[in-house]
Amino acid sequence: MSRRTGRELFLMDVRYSLWLISRNKLVVSGFVLVAFFIFLAIFGPLIVNPEIAQRVDYPNQLKPPSWQHPFGTDDIGRDLLSLIILGARYDLMIAIVVIASSLLIGIVLGSISGYFGGVIDEAMMRITDIFLAFPGLILAMAIATVLGRSFTNLMLALIVVWWSGYARIMRGQVIAEREKPYVAAAKILSIPNYRIIFRHILPNAIYPMLVVATMDIGGAMLTAAGLSFIGLGPSPFEPEWGQLCSRGATYLFQAPWIMFFPGITILFASLGFNLVGDGLRDVLDPRLRR
């Protein structure tokens, strides 16, 4: 009987997961979408010259889609397609940064709370209860308004809203793992607590979080765009997608493309992440494996 190292087993696992993913066409298209938008986000300013795209060109305003301007122009005369490409940076960045940060904070706080239990746990539960008592969009709205309208403030507001959910999930996972024999074994071996948490419990507890996080990226993008739409995002001239939709709403009947195309872009970006998340969940569901 050949024995494989833990590392080899892990890699086999990953390869198997990837194979499962590739069998599902929907998920693959999700990955393609995500890759596409990330590419746009990183290389956007190289594809489209920001200065030219943002230039004021009033005689060209409100032109419908044509060969020159596949998505039409907005009320300042800017080409909408270029703006959408440039805008990818904002929405993707905000979604990924927000989820990553909240994930980090949530994991750390949730693990500590779940592992040590007692007063710390009770306190953490109460605190997260408070934050979870607010409907998400509304709390983000209040924080963003109070801090002032800007891109970074929007990110902060969303992080404040999102972290508590992750903390709770992580806590639940850690509590479930905590009772397992390998933890007791580690304790007997006098492995320090933090090591137990981060090297042993964490890898087991983290899978459900990843699924939730991936799907949440889409949700964060939608929430950010929504807040930007009502006026809490970056300045009204930045090509952020929610902002573009907001400008487009004024001209809805005359020039519906200004609202339509940025919005549908948000849809596809969010859809991409959601497909990936869905796929991940199916893949990581132990009952569907093997």
Partner 1 sequence: MIKLRKVYFYPDSKGNVLLLGGVCMEGVSKAVWAVVAIVIVLVVAAAAIAMQKPAAPTPTPAPAPTNVTPAPAKPAVQNPDTIIEETIGEPDYLDPAVDYETAGGEVITNVYETLTWYNGTRADQIIPWLAERYEVSPDGMSYTFYLRKGIKFHDGTPFNATAVNYSLVRAIVIADPDGPAWMLGPIRGAEELMEKIWAGNATWNDVKAWLAKKPIEILDTYTVRINLDYPYAPFPAVMAFPVAAVVSPSYVEAHGGIELGKHNDWMDRHAEAGTGPFIVKSWEPGVITMVANPNYWGGPNGDIKPKIKTVIIKKVDDANTRLMDLLKGDADIVFVPVTHIDQLIDINKWLDEGKIVVKPDVADKVAVLGPFETFDINFIGLNQKIYDETTKKPVDFQPFKDIRVRQAFAYAFDYKTYMREVVKNFAIQPNGPIPKGMFGYDPSIPVYEYNLTKAKELLLAAGKDLGFSPDNPKTLTIYYNSGNLAREKGALLLASAINSLHVGLIIQVVPLDWPAFLAKMRAKALPIFFLGWAPDYIDPDDYVVPFCHGEKGTFPIRIGFNDPELNKLLDEQARTLDPQKRKEILRQITLKVDEQYVYIWLTQPTAYQVQRTWVKGWFYNPAFPGNYFATLSKG
Partner 2 sequence: MKLYEYAIRRTLLLVPVLIGVTILTFYLSRIVLNPLGAYVTERTPPELIPAIEKKLGLDKPFYVQYAYYLRDLVTMDWGWSKVAHMPVLEALMYRFPATVELAVTAFLITIALGIPLGILSALKNNTLIDHIIRIIALTGISIPVFWLGLTLQYTFSYWFKTNGLPSLPSSGRVDPVLLQAHPVNRITGLMILDSLIQGNFIVALDAISHIILPSITLAFLDIGTITRVVRSSMLEVLRQDYITTARAYGLPRRIVIYKYALKNAMIPVATISGLMFGGLLGGAVITETIFAFPGMGQLTVMAITFNDSNTILAFTVLACFIYVFVNLAVDIIYAWLDPRIKY
Residues in the chain: 290
User: Helices 118-132 and 80-116, interaxial angle, to 10°?
Assistant: 150
Whether residue 92 contacts residue 41, with contact meaning beta carbons closer than 8 Å, is answered with yes
Is 184 a binding residue for partner 1 by CB under 8 A? The answer is no
- Single out the segment in contact with partner 1 by CB under 8 A; choices: 89-97, 156-164, 221-229, 243-251: 243-251
Per-residue binding letters, 73-102, with partner 1 (x by CB under 8 A) = --xx--------------------------
Residue among 42, 56, 100, 184 that touches partner 1 (CB under 8 A): 56
Structure tokens at 22: 């590739």
Q: Does 62 bind partner 2 (CB under 8 A)?
A: no
d(CA 9, CA 257): 51
Per the CB < 8 A criterion, the answer to whether 186 and 196 are in contact is yes
Separation of alpha carbons 28 and 21, rounded Å: 7
Size of the residue set binding partner 2 (CB under 8 A): 48
Contact window for partner 1 (CB under 8 A) among 58-66, 124-132, 261-269, 273-281: 58-66
Contact 80, 258 (CB under 8 A): yes
58 binds, among partner 2, partner 1, none (CB under 5 to 8 A by kind): partner 1
Closest CB to partner 1 among residues 65, 172: 65
Which of the ranges 11-19, 95-103, 112-120, 126-134 carries the binding residues for partner 2, by CB under 8 A? Answer: 126-134
Which part of the chain contacts partner 1 (CB under 8 A), choosing from 26-34, 54-62, 179-187, 207-215? 54-62
Quick one: 75 or 121, whose CB is closer to partner 1? Answer: 75
Among 17, 24, 29, 61, binds partner 1 (CB under 8 A): 61
Q: Is 65 in the site for partner 2 (CB under 8 A)?
A: no
Rg (CA), the chain: 23
Nearer to partner 2, 156 or 206 (CB): 156
Q: Is 68 in the site for partner 1 (CB under 8 A)?
A: no
Interatomic CA distance for residues 254 and 241, integer angstroms: 19
236 binds partner 2 (CB under 8 A): no
- Please answer whether residues 243 and 89 qualify as being in contact, where contact means their C-beta atoms are separated by less than 8 angstroms: no
User: Residue 135 binds which entry of partner 2, partner 1, none, with Cβ cut-offs from 5 to 8 Å by kind?
Assistant: partner 2
137-to-61, 127, 141, 223, 265 alpha-carbon distances in Å: 33, 18, 6, 7, 21
3-state secondary structure of 195: helix
Give me the DSSP letters along 203-250: HHHHHHHHHHHHHHHHHHHHHHHHHHHHT-SS-TTS--HHHHHHHHHH
Residues in contact with partner 1 by CB under 8 A are 55-56, 58-59, 61, 64-66, 75-76, 235-237, 249-254, 256
Residues in contact with partner 2 by CB under 8 A are 26, 126-127, 129-131, 133-139, 141-143, 145-147, 218-219, 222, 225-226, 229-232, 242, 245-246, 248-249, 252-253, 256, 259-260, 263-264, 266-268, 270-271, 274-275, 278
